[in-house]
Amino acid sequence: MKSILIIGMGRFGHHLAWNLLELGNDVMIIDSEESKIEDMVPYATSSKIGDCTNPEVLRSLGIANFDLIFICIGTNFQSSLEITSLVKEMGGKHVISKATRDIQAKFLLRNGADEVIYPEKDIAEKCAERYSMDNIFDYIELDDDYGVYEIEPMQEWVGKSIREADIARRFSVMVLGIREENGEKKIMPSADYVVNAQEHLMVLGERTVISALLKQIGRKG
């Protein structure tokens, strides 16, 4: 469990706060507009209304006490830049700022951000990867070349164990998990796990290898 501050409660800030709270973290939220936080007040660990471009407001939060600080200002980049710089100067341990363009990311990193996230860009890339390929149900990018893909099994795998199907050697992918018919996941199944036609496999592999494998699944499915 971590102590987390979220500055800026737009749509992304809301989704982030909900998910962090569900994972058991302590989450403080702050925005300059009361209407942006009022629906979250009963659920957040703590909340405050204030303009974080004001150094006194930031000091009152105890910046150095948080494990993570997210700066989710979406409409005013100048404010995001100022807040990022102030938060780092006040001892922010790990500052993560939201950007919409590469040029913004460069300025945020120069002004103290430890990381920059691109929610819209990341979602767009994930959607493009998922919907441009047939037989793929979910996707997590690891780097430019590798990812984790949720796929249906090849017909020749069905009824065989992972070892018998020889998936890793023959197809150059590693089975990291199984999504069962009821939606539950089995992480790191044993080599003796028998593949079921109604299940999905979560496999790690190189993008070009996965693309070729999906074409085979499409032909044989």
Q: With contact defined as beta carbons under 8 Å apart, do 87 and 69 qualify?
A: yes
Sequence spans of domains, the chain: 3-117, 122-220
pTM for the full predicted model = 0.66
At the top level of CATH, which class does the domain 3-117 belong to? alpha beta
| Residue 147: predicted pLDDT | 87
What's the fold here for domain 122-220? Answer: Alpha-Beta Plaits (3.30.70)
Residue 202, token pair as written in the block? 């979560």
In order of 5, 33, 65, 87, 89, the CA distances from 93 in angstroms are 11, 26, 8, 9, 10
% of the chain at pLDDT higher than 70: 93
Q: What is the pLDDT of residues 39-97, one digit of tens each?
A: 999 999 999 999 999 999 999 999 999 999 999 987 789 999 999 999 999 999 999 99
User: CA-CA distance, 62 to 91, in Å (whole number)?
Assistant: 9
d(CA 149, CA 134): 12
CA pair distance 5, 25, nearest whole angstrom:
10
Provide mean pLDDT across the span 190-206. 94
Same fold, 3-117 and 122-220: no
